[in-house]
């Protein structure tokens, strides 16, 4: 069998790959490489993208690759990428119908997910219960055990004293 060049392989597969279009516009509430990956996938799906960026990221590739980009504040993430109120303002201004949180930042924040729900914006990610459970290490380990997933052995309770720590160890 003749081996395809990488370019030919991409051309063949990109022409035959179709994705269902779920939204017209998605805001990516993150930065860097994860945002670039979401933008690339959205473009394949025919979905417009909205990037948000701090002053530190104004010249980044993800800002240039998005269909729209909005400044959300200074470099400290607490003043930009973690500001749910500012991101909600951008959602409204841009007309985005959904938010992809990427990894970290607001991806594990159930309050952000509720804010989006209350404003009729879809959250592209796990349901609230999963976010809350995975944010609690003991709860997530209990859920994993219930699902018969192998876990690292250890104590699943609360430790209240040095004596308990010594006894458990």
- The CATH number for 78's domain is 3.40.50.20
Contact 76, 57 (CB under 8 A): no
If you average pLDDT over every residue of the chain, what do you get?
A: 88
Domain count, the chain: 2
Residue 1 inside a domain? The answer is no
Q: Tens digits of per-residue pLDDT, 75-86?
A: 999 999 999 999
Indicate the pLDDT class of residue 7, thresholds 50, 70 and 90: low
In 3D, which of 23, 77, 63 has the Cα closest to residue 46? 23
The neighbouring-strand residues paired with 99 are 27, 123
For β-strands 98-100 and 68-73, DSSP reports them as unpaired
CA–CA separation, 16 vs 25, rounded Å? 23
Do 69 and 121 sit in the same domain of this protein? Answer: yes
The 10s digit of each residue's pLDDT in 116-146 is: 999 999 999 988 888 887 777 788 888 888 8
Q: Which domain holds residue 127?
A: 6-131
Counting Cα atoms < 13 Å in the Cβ hemisphere of 137 gives 6
Q: Which two tokens stand for residue 76?
A: 């400290």
Question: For residues 10 and 4, what is the distance between their CA atoms, to the nearest angstrom?
Answer: 9
């Amino acid at each position: 069998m003749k081996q395809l060049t990488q370019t030919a392989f991409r051309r063949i597969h990109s022409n035959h790959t179709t994705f269902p279009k779920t939204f017209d516009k998605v805001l990516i509430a993150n930065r860097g490489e994860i945002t670039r990956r979401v933008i690339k996938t959205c473009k394949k799906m025919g979905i417009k993208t909205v990037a948000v960026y701090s002053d530190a990221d104004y010249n980044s590739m993800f800002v240039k690759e998005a269909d729209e980009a909005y400044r959300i504040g200074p470099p400290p993430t607490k003043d930009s990428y973690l500001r749910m109120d500012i991101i909600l303002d951008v959602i409204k201004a841009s007309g985005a119908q959904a938010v992809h949180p990427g990894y970290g930042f607001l991806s594990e924040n159930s309050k952000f997910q509720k804010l989006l729900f209350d404003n009729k914006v879809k959250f592209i990610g796990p349901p609230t219960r999963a976010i809350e459970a995975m944010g609690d290490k003991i709860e997530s380990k209990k859920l994993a055990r219930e699902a018969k997933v192998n876990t690292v052995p250890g104590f699943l309770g609360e430790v209240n004293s040095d004596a308990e720590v010594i006894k458990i160890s």
